[in-house]
Amino acid sequence: MASRELLVRRLDAAFDDARLDGTYVAVLVVELDELEQINRTLGQSVGDELLVRVGQRLSNWSRASDAVGVIAPGRFAILLPSLRAATSISARVEQLVEDMVMTIGTADRRRNVTVSVGGAVYPAHSEQAEDLLDRAQHAAERVRDAGGNDWAWHAPPTNHDHPD
């Protein structure tokens, strides 16, 4: 998995390609909805197992051209370059949220796991890599604060937000 620094470099390169191709770049931030509680109630080893499982599911969900990385404990980012329409991934992201629901723990102590996902799109939401990541992260935090197990854009993109 890529680090935040590597994701930022890949974002910058994807922005250059998008300017040339007239495409979009999306960033998704995926936050585990109760990682701290899982670590506290089920133990750090169960939390670590969860992080591995989430990373595997995100890697399986992503396309070969995408990049998946860890940007903070319990927080992942997915870079989706070369999108023809800003809204073209909405159905895939809804499926991602559903696919991430799982149960983890021991035979006698189990918890359901859900995620909150936030998305931001270049160039509609920002033309700076760090800023785009931050906007996606804020959208994920809004989802988490509203109860989690869902996703939202930073602000709704439209297909009219096309690069010049």
pLDDT, tens digit, 9 for 90 and up, residues 74-105: 999 999 999 998 778 899 999 999 999 999 98
pLDDT for 106-141, tens place per residue? 888 899 999 999 999 999 999 999 999 999 999 999
Task: Average the pLDDT over 33-42 and give the result.
Answer: 92
- pLDDT for res 156: 60
Residue 80 confidence (pLDDT)? 96
* Every domain of the chain and the residues it spans: 4-153
52 pLDDT above the threshold of 90:
yes
Q: What global pTM score does this model have?
A: 0.91
Q: What percent of the chain has pLDDT over 90?
A: 85
Quick: pLDDT tens for 148-162: 999 999 976 555 444
**pLDDT (0 to 100) of residue 85:** 87
pLDDT in the model for residue 162:
40
Q: Are 38 and 47 in contact (CB under 8 A)?
A: yes
CATH code for the domain defined by 4-153 = 3.30.70.270
Q: Taking the C-alpha atoms of 154, 155, 157 and 161 in order, what is their torsion angle to the nearest 10 degrees?
A: -100
